[in-house]
């Protein structure tokens, strides 16, 4: 398997505020070519240090990708450092010069004398087109493989990686196909999910399995490598199907970029149903997720955030004696809120939340972290009680996710 090293250049990436995130994108595309990333480095705008790092990297890896430091100023040291490391000259490319002149004319800005630096290529390099900026990338064949220089801004780097780098690397590498399968999962914690599926995935090194977690939302990524698409897909099917069986309907999507609100939106649209919300502790978070997708007016009609008992009565129509008898954080009030959301708005389904998000509040029976979630509509009214630890933000986020999942399950009935 070919090895790669990624070097990010820029003094700002060595401050407490900034992370190099380009390397994730680059890694994904290298992995898809069957190239493994074995080291990543961040170097400031320091010519000598960068020269040393590139020299070490090209001597031990087939693929070396450097991002950043291709601008027009003295601080932009990547071209110089790469040329020095490879003991090659920088040569003015007349073609790149004319592209640069043309580009400045196009954006109607004067070209500073400095900018001509961006038209210099390392001997033997292929220039990589940059439709979104002035710095061309460079693809430099080396003894072991290739040294690739990319501009730092993601909107310049990303299309260049996909359109210019990947097609040039592929023929240099052993033929193999990488395929990915993703499960998006909710309603189970990270360690429980791991305990559930580890007996399956630990038996395989191909596909590899990664579990990604955010509060209430997990993803399992399988990545298989085969000599053909058929082989890679067969591996994914074999392992993926066994995982899917164990996780069951806690899998809400197999699309990596499809959040829960999108799944709920599709189900509502398919059933020509609409939804309204009546929120207390989630304070509008359920409504804002339900309206997050374009076209959500097809299924979302209205929402009420009723933070006080008086507004639960007056805006929603929850009966005073119900609140007096059970308190606002209770199963009967959650049920009434969901039903009132339907009654007040004419929506097919009503979703409600009432709970203690903390840090203050709670009772011995319902301590901070307890939330009642109601769903009203076809199939009747049902309330779920959930309880989570953590801070206010975590409790509200988990309650919102659970509310959307309850609605998803109701819609699948």
- The residue among 382, 278, 274 whose CA lies nearest residue 328 is 278
119 or 340, CB closer to a copy of itself?
340
Choose the binding region for a copy of itself from 33-41, 133-141, 151-159, 192-200 (rule: CB under 8 A): 33-41
Choose the binding region for a copy of itself from 233-241, 293-301, 319-327, 401-409 (rule: CB under 8 A): 293-301
User: What distance in Å separates the CA atoms of residue 352 and residue 373, rounded to the nearest whole number?
Assistant: 5
Q: How far is the CB of 111 from a copy of itself (least distance, A)?
A: 20
- Verify binding: residue 345, a copy of itself, rule CB under 8 A: yes
User: What distance in Å separates the CA atoms of residue 57 and residue 38, rounded to the nearest whole number?
Assistant: 10
Q: Which residue in the set 2, 34, 39, 266 belongs to the binding site for a copy of itself (CB under 8 A)?
A: 39
Please give the angle made by the CA atoms of 354, 358 and 360, to the nearest 5 degrees.
115
Q: How far is the CB of 297 from a copy of itself (least distance, A)?
A: 5
Q: What is the DSSP string of 313-368?
A: IIII---HHHHHHH-SSSHHHHHHHHHHHHHHH--SEEEEEEE--SSS---SSS-T
19 or 129, CB closer to a copy of itself?
19
Q: How far is the CB of 91 from a copy of itself (least distance, A)?
A: 29
Under a CB-based contact definition with an 8 Å cutoff, are residues 34 and 225 in contact? Answer: yes
Query: The tokens of 38 are what?
Result: 């074995």
Q: How far is the CB of 267 from a copy of itself (least distance, A)?
A: 18
Query: The tokens of 15 are what?
Result: 């401050």
10 or 136, CB closer to a copy of itself?
10
Query: The tokens of 131 are what?
Result: 């439709």
- Verify binding: residue 75, a copy of itself, rule CB under 8 A: no
Q: How far is the CB of 301 from a copy of itself (least distance, A)?
A: 5
Judged by CB under 8 A, the chain residues 357 through 386 that form the site for a copy of itself are: 357-360
- The residue among 263, 268, 235 whose CA lies nearest residue 251 is 263
List, in order, residues 6 or more apart from 282 with CB less than 8 Å away: 353, 357, 371, 396, 399, 400, 403
Q: How many residues bind a copy of itself (CB under 8 A)?
A: 65
Q: How far is the CB of 18 from a copy of itself (least distance, A)?
A: 8
Judged by CB under 8 A, the chain residues 177 through 216 that form the site for a copy of itself are: 210, 212
- Verify binding: residue 295, a copy of itself, rule CB under 8 A: yes
Coil, helix or strand at residue 275: strand
Kindly list the distances between the CA atom of residue 33 and the CA atoms of 224, 281, 282, 340, in Å, as whole numbers in the listed order. Answer: 12, 47, 44, 55
| Residues counted in the chain | 413
Coil, helix or strand at residue 224: strand
- Verify binding: residue 291, a copy of itself, rule CB under 8 A: yes
Q: How far is the CB of 349 from a copy of itself (least distance, A)?
A: 14
| DSSP-assigned letter for residue 8 | E
Query: The tokens of 67 are what?
Result: 């991002």
- Verify binding: residue 233, a copy of itself, rule CB under 8 A: no
Q: Which residue in the set 65, 157, 263, 304 belongs to the binding site for a copy of itself (CB under 8 A)?
A: 304
Choose the binding region for a copy of itself from 43-51, 84-92, 107-115, 317-325 (rule: CB under 8 A): 43-51
234 or 301, CB closer to a copy of itself?
301
- Verify binding: residue 27, a copy of itself, rule CB under 8 A: yes
* Chain residues that interact with a copy of itself, rule: CB under 8 A: 12-17, 19, 21, 24-25, 27-28, 31, 36-44, 46, 49, 53, 210, 212, 221, 277, 279, 282-288, 290-297, 300-308, 311, 315, 344-345, 357-360, 392-393, 396
């Amino acid at each position: 398997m070919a090895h790669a090293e990624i070097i990010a250049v820029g003094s700002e990436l060595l401050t407490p505020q900034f992370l190099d995130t380009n390397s994730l994108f680059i890694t994904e595309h290298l992995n898809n070519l069957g190239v493994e990333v074995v080291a990543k480095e961040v170097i400031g705008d320091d010519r000598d240090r960068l020269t040393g790092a590139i020299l070490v990297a090209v001597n031990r890896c087939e693929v070396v990708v450097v991002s950043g430091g291709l601008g027009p100023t003295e601080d932009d040291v990547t071209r110089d450092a790469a040329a020095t490391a490879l003991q090659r000259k920088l040569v003015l490319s007349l073609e790149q010069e004319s592209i640069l002149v043309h580009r400045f004319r196009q954006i109607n800005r004067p070209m500073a004398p400095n900018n001509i630096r961006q038209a210099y290529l390392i001997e033997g390099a292929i220039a990589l087109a940059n439709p979104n900026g002035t710095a061309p990338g460079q693809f430099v064949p080396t003894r072991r493989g290739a040294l690739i220089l990319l501009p730092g801004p993601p909107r310049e780097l990303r299309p260049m990686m996909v359109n210019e780098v990947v097609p040039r690397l592929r023929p240099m590498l052993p033929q193999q196909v990488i395929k990915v399968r993703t499960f998006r999962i909710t309603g189970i914690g990270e360690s429980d999910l791991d305990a559930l599926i580890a007996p399956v995935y630990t038996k395989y090194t191909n596909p590899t399995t990664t579990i990604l977690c955010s509060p209430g939302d997990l993803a399992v990524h399988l990545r298989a490598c085969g000599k053909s698409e058929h082989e890679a897909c067969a591996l994914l099917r074999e392992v993926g199907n066994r995982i899917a069986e164990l996780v069951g309907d806690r899998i809400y999507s197999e699309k990596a970029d499809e959040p829960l609100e999108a799944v709920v939106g599709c189900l509502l649209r398919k059933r020509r149903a609409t939804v309204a919300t009546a929120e207390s502790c989630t304070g509008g978070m359920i409504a804002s997720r339900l309206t997050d997708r374009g076209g959500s007016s097809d299924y979302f009609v209205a929402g009420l955030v009723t933070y006080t008992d008086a507004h639960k009565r007056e805006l929603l129509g929850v009966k005073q004696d119900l609140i007096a008898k059970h308190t606002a954080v209770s199963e009967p009030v959650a049920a009434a809120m969901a039903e009132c959301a339907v009654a007040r708005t004419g929506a097919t389904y009503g979703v409600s939340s009432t709970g203690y998000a903390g840090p203050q509040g709670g009772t011995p029976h319902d301590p901070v972290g307890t939330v009642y979630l109601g769903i009203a509509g076809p199939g009747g009214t049902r309330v779920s009680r959930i309880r989570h630890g953590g801070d206010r933000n975590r409790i509200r986020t988990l309650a919102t996710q659970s509310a959307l999942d309850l609605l998803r399950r109701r819609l699948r009935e």
